[in-house]
């Protein structure tokens, strides 16, 4: 389902806010998105630009469920299945994303928002980078990118797959930055798997995606992208930051790669996706693709029922795991497996099958009535997340696992929740 089809669907459900008056991409868009966090917002008229802007696209799990045509409760297993069964997208000759082709690109014509007054400047938060390596094939990942001239960006590229592509080539590499994508592509781009896995194939398994070849690069991009920036990642570096992180704190300033843009293609009347930093949308895109990885790892050591990276834990640092406890040490085994699967995580709570892990009051109730620190606590010192401001410089941090499952050596009846009126 393309971004436009998704916006129409949301509008039919009465969950779209259209703003027709002119808005300023500097801070005003961020303010309006933040104030209307429960609705998708479409800005029809932005600064003096011809582009429209959409935000809050996937601020709730239900929106992913709409885009993937599944129930919200089935999302986890749908993502697991797509990761395990990637399928090749069809390659087509003419894509909507190439309705307009600009060989003399000017990034300043795109109404890229500034989100906080401390930011280095405007920056693209929803840019999905697609690169091709002769050995590993296509890779798709998110990287924030800020314009430093009319045809150059500086982008934050962590030491993951794309970084390895750059280091391996020892030279400039071609890249396409796609903006305004359907939710299955966004979700797939946020998935971290084996370097040889093509995330475009995961996207295609989530929901059918067609690809088209770029105009100036040997790269395939989703044909329904709203905007595609075609360019090269140069070997030059430039100051990057400060910008906000998912933790609602500021990331540090670093030297990062400069990207030179040679061509911009876009749909007619294009829509730019403003992904509000540290919003639920940002959190869900970061956290949801990690949940299947944690689920699979826990399922290797005991029967896992559900996994949630919690909103309060920035959908990255805190996790609640629901298990079907069959052995006394299942809770502790689940904690250890979860930390191994997602090393950025700092606090894990394991609960029994009767707890709704989407209800934090129930999770706290399980801790209050079933957990004993002297018996059920795991503390370890390990490398954690680079995003955690409280971690040491080398990323070491204390991690805590709480086994809040009912102990088998006590009378189980003591732990049953009352049923009022029954
Ligand atoms: C909204 C969003 C923004 C992100 N921003 C960045 C970023 O600026 N730099 C970065 O290196 N990774 C960023 N990431 C994380 C990577 O895109 C993500 O971990 C991806 O799965 C890495 O892909 P890889 O395993 O193919 O390297 C972001 C993820 C999301 C969901």
Q: Is residue 236 part of a domain?
A: yes
Asked if residue 319 and residue 280 are part of one domain, the reply reads no
Asked if residue 241 and residue 345 are part of one domain, the reply reads no
Q: How far apart are CA 250 and CA 387, in angstroms?
A: 9
Residue 292's pLDDT is 95
Based on its alpha-carbon atoms, the radius of gyration of the chain, rounded to whole angstroms, reads 22
Asked if residue 300 and residue 276 are part of one domain, the reply reads no
Q: Is residue 169 part of a domain?
A: yes
Asked if residue 295 and residue 264 are part of one domain, the reply reads no
Q: Domain range spanning residue 391?
A: 290-409
Closest Cα to residue 323, out of 417, 401, 206? 401
- How much distance in Å is there from the Cα of 146 to the middle of ligand 1? 15
Asked if residue 201 and residue 264 are part of one domain, the reply reads yes
Residue 326's pLDDT is 97
Closest atom, ligand 1, to C-alpha of 186: 31
pLDDT tens-place values along the chain, 422 residues long: 999 999 999 999 999 999 999 999 999 999 999 999 999 999 999 999 999 999 999 999 999 999 999 999 999 999 999 999 999 999 999 999 999 999 999 999 999 999 999 999 999 999 999 999 999 999 999 999 999 999 999 999 999 999 999 999 989 999 999 999 999 999 999 999 899 999 999 999 999 999 999 999 999 999 999 999 999 999 999 999 999 999 999 999 999 999 999 999 999 999 999 999 999 999 999 999 999 999 999 999 999 999 999 999 999 999 999 999 999 999 999 999 999 999 999 999 999 999 999 999 999 999 999 999 999 999 999 999 989 999 999 999 999 999 999 999 999 999 999 999 99
Q: Is residue 162 part of a domain?
A: yes
Q: For residue 308, which phi and psi values (nearest 5 degrees)? A: -140, 125
Residue 337's pLDDT is 98
- How much distance in Å is there from the Cα of 141 to the middle of ligand 1? 5
Q: How far apart are CA 262 and CA 241, in angstroms?
A: 24
- Domain boundary, last residue among 285, 320, 345: 285
Q: Is residue 417 part of a domain?
A: no
Q: Which two tokens stand for residue 225?
A: 């992208």
Domain count for the chain, please give it.
2
Asked if residue 294 and residue 277 are part of one domain, the reply reads no
Asked if residue 207 and residue 89 are part of one domain, the reply reads yes
Asked if residue 230 and residue 152 are part of one domain, the reply reads yes
Q: Is residue 184 part of a domain?
A: yes
Q: Is residue 25 part of a domain?
A: yes
Asked if residue 265 and residue 365 are part of one domain, the reply reads no
DSSP string, 253-288: PEEEEEEEEEEEEE-SS-EEEE--TTSHHHHHHHHT
**Other C-beta atoms lying within 10 Å of the C-beta of residue 224:** 23
Mark whether 74 is an active-site residue. no
- Domain boundary, last residue among 253, 285, 317: 285
> Taking a C-beta distance cutoff of 8 angstroms, is the pair 262, 234 a contact?
no
Active-site residue among 245, 306, 330, 376? 245
- How much distance in Å is there from the Cα of 412 to the middle of ligand 1? 44
CATH number for the domain including 385? Answer: 3.40.1670.10
Asked if residue 224 and residue 324 are part of one domain, the reply reads no
Q: Is residue 419 part of a domain?
A: no
Closest Cα to residue 351, out of 329, 366, 336, 368? 366
Q: Is residue 277 part of a domain?
A: yes
3-state secondary structure of 339: helix
Asked if residue 315 and residue 255 are part of one domain, the reply reads no
> Taking a C-beta distance cutoff of 8 angstroms, is the pair 203, 152 a contact?
no
- Domain boundary, last residue among 237, 256, 285: 285
Q: How far apart are CA 362 and CA 143, in angstroms?
A: 36
Sequence-distant contacts of 161-167: CB under 8 A, at least 24 apart = 161/136, 161/192, 161/195, 162/129, 162/131, 164/195, 165/131, 165/133, 165/136, 165/139, 166/233, 166/257
Residue 232's pLDDT is 98
Closest atom, ligand 1, to C-alpha of 281: 1
Q: Is 160 in the pocket of ligand 1 (CB under 6 A)?
A: yes
Asked if residue 219 and residue 167 are part of one domain, the reply reads yes
- How much distance in Å is there from the Cα of 290 to the middle of ligand 1? 12
> Taking a C-beta distance cutoff of 8 angstroms, is the pair 255, 239 a contact?
yes
CATH number for the domain including 90? Answer: 2.30.110.10
Q: Is 143 in the pocket of ligand 1 (CB under 6 A)?
A: yes
Q: How far apart are CA 320 and CA 306, in angstroms?
A: 8
Residue 408's pLDDT is 95
């Amino acid at each position: 389902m393309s971004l436009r089809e998704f916006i129409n669907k949301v509008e039919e459900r009465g969950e779209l806010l259209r703003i027709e008056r002119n808005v300023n991409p500097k801070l005003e868009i961020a303010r309006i998105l933040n104030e209307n966090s429960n609705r998708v917002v479409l800005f029809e008229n932005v600064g003096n630009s011809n582009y429209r802007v959409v935000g809050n696209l996937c601020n709730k799990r239900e929106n992913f469920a709409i885009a993937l045509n599944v129930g919200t409760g089935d999302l986890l297993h749908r993502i697991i299945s797509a990761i395990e069964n990637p399928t090749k997208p069809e390659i087509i000759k003419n894509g909507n994303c190439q309705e307009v082709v600009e060989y003399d690109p000017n990034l300043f014509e795109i109404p890229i928002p500034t989100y906080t007054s401390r930011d280095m400047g405007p920056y693209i938060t929803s840019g999905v980078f697609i690169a091709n390596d002769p050995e590993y094939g296509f890779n798709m990942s998110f990287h924030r990118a800020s314009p430093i001239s009319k045809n150059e960006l500086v982008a934050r590229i962590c030491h993951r797959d794309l970084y390895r592509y750059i280091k391996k080539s020892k030279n400039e590499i071609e890249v396409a930055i796609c903006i305004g994508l359907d939710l299955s592509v966004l979700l797939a781009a946020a998935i971290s798997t084996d370097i040889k896995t093509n995330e475009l194939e995961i996207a295609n398994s989530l929901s059918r995606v067609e690809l088209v070849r770029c105009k100036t690069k040997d790269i395939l991009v989703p044909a329904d992208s709203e905007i595609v920036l075609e360019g090269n990642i140069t070997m030059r570096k430039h100051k990057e930051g400060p910008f906000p992180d998912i933790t609602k704190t500021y990331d540090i300033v670093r030297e990062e790669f400069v990207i030179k843009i040679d061509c911009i293609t876009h749909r007619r009347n294009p829509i730019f996706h403003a992904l509000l930093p540290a919003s639920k949308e940002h959190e869900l895109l970061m956290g949801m693709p990690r949940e299947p990885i944690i689920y699979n790892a826990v399922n290797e050591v005991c029967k896992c029922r559900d996994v949630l990276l919690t909103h309060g834990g920035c959908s990255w640092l805190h996790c609640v795991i629901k298990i079907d406890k069959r052995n006394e040490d299942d809770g502790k085994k689940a904690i250890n497996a979860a930390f191994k699967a997602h090393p950025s995580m700092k606090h894990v709570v394991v609960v029994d099958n009767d707890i709704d892990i989407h209800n934090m009051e129930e999770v706290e109730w399980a801790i209050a009535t079933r957990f004993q620190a002297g018996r059920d606590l795991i503390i370890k010192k390990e490398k954690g997340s680079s995003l955690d401001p409280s971690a040491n410089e080398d990323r070491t941090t204390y991690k805590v696992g709480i086994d809040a499952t009912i102990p088998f050596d006590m009378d189980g009846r003591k732990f049953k929740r009352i049923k009022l009126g029954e």
